[in-house]
Copies of this chain bind each other. A is one copy, B any other.
């Protein structure tokens, strides 16, 4: 008689964003004329830039002819894209990588979820609270023990090095989702030293690096001395270039990263060769187009657009007395609920009285209780409107 993976019984039945969708849909049933503004789920609104669309089209046309048709590609991604990444995302910042340390995938979410395949289920995983739920849920699914690192106003939302336990794996995401705070070189450097000292592996989610504006914030963990012996980095084109529907990201596994005499680069290559068949060719071509001057200009414009939203929200909400974190090096704002309101109460008030959909902080972990997350990914018009509605609601 077959048995299921019983660890699935330990995760909640539904996913945060489904709960939100249900609440919004229920509200709309009762208030069909409500003009809802969604600043909740982190999806982008700007379309793909012209050079990406043009490249998608030309790569699609190639597929109509035998002599240019592309079938199976390497599971680790096409070399043309891996080499562009090495040159533009790393060498440009003084980080030297070989192209085969880059693994292209259908997105950072898949990689950061699947990376657990190559790691023992006995490792203790340290995870920040609040956190992007994928880190936590994937570890619960594997039955891996988890130690939470609280991030709150007391520590400026930056986890402290653990003292009571010795984690084997450490998930770090900076600039952070959901709090929007970033780590400086020195702050991230402490974690790299710590990980090397205790033999821990850092899984570094760098999906928001393009939003960094401060000079003392690293874009890659590999800018930190010693990171290549203790870290894997995850990158995404989703928030940078609007690839949320197109699907492409990549993972960097340095060859120096070892467990005993085993290279993690070899393990991940084997995992991907066996369980994945490469990202779509036309999408990899589109990602490559981002490294042209035109592509880089378009990315810059998108990010400036969203960060103007972030600044507007931060300004407006701060002005009406709310405490607002993030929004400077990240497209997320972390807003403290007034009057000791709980997250879902705060969510309900914003939904019902301002018709603004947010993400309740509690959905990201117990330390998120009493907060809500706003994203900067809406249009200027909607963002301005939402900011003014929230301002009006609390500026009494």
Chain A residues proximal to chain B, CB less than 8 Å: 1-6, 8-9, 11, 13, 15, 18, 41, 43-48, 50, 52-53, 56-57, 60-61, 63-66, 68-73, 106-107, 109-110, 113-114, 117-123, 133-134, 137-138, 141, 168-169, 198-201, 242, 244-247, 259, 262, 264, 266-267, 270-271, 273-283, 379
A56-B63, A66-B47 known; A262+B4 contact, CB < 8 A: yes
14 A-B residue pairs with Cβ-Cβ distance under 8 Å, sorted by A, are A1-B168, A4-B118, A15-B273, A18-B273, A41-B72, A71-B242, A107-B277, A109-B275, A110-B277, A113-B274, A113-B275, A134-B275, A137-B274, A246-B280
CB neighbours of A63 from chain B (8 A): 47-48, 52-53, 56, 245-246
Across the interface, which residues of B come within 8 angstroms of A15, CB to CB? 270, 273-274
> Do A275 and B138 touch across chains, with their CB atoms under 8 A apart?
yes
By a CB distance below 8 angstroms, the chain B residues around A242 are 69, 71
Pair B66/A45 contact, Cβ less than 8 Å: yes
* A200 neighbours in B (Cβ, 8 Å): 1-2
Task: Judge whether A71 and B53 touch: CB under 8 Å.
Answer: no
- Asked whether A123 and B2 contact (CB < 8 A) given A43-B72, A242-B69, A271-B141, the answer is yes
Contacts of A138 in B (CB 8 A): 274-275
Q: Given A168-B3, A245-B281, are A46 and B66 also a contact pair (CB < 8 Å)? A: yes
* CB-nearest residue of chain B to A264: B4
Q: How far is the CB of A356 from chain B (nearest CB, A)?
A: 19
- Shortest 10 CB-CB contacts between residues of A and residues of B: A1-B199, A113-B275, A56-B60, A3-B120, A2-B168, A43-B71, A71-B244, A47-B69, A245-B281, A70-B245
Contacts of A118 in B (CB 8 A): 4-5, 8
Is there contact, CB below 8 Å, between A169 and B281? no
A5:B46 contact, CB within 8 angstroms: no
The interface centre, meaning the residue of A60, A242, A259, A282 with most chain B CB atoms within 10 A of its CB, is: A60
Across the interface, A247 reaches (CB within 8 A) one of B65, B264, B280, namely: B280
B56 contacts A282, CB within 8 Å?
A: yes
Contacts A3-B259, A247-B277, A280-B106; is A47 near B73 (CB within 8 Å)?
Answer: no
CA distance A1 to B52 in the complex (A): 43
The answer to whether B56 and A44 have CB atoms under 8 Å apart is: no
A118 to B73, CA, bound (A): 28
A119 CB contact (under 8 Å) in B4, B106, B134? B4
Judging by beta carbons under 8 Å apart, are B1 and A198 in contact? yes
**A9 partner residues in chain B, CB cutoff 8 A:** 262
A48 adjacent to B64 (CB under 8 Å):
yes
Nearest CB of B to A325, in Å = 25
Q: What is the CA–CA distance of A284 and B9 in the complex, to the nearest angstrom?
A: 32
Q: Which residues of B contact A106 (CB under 8 A)?
A: 106, 247, 276-277, 279-280
Check A134–B72 contact: CB distance below 8 A: no
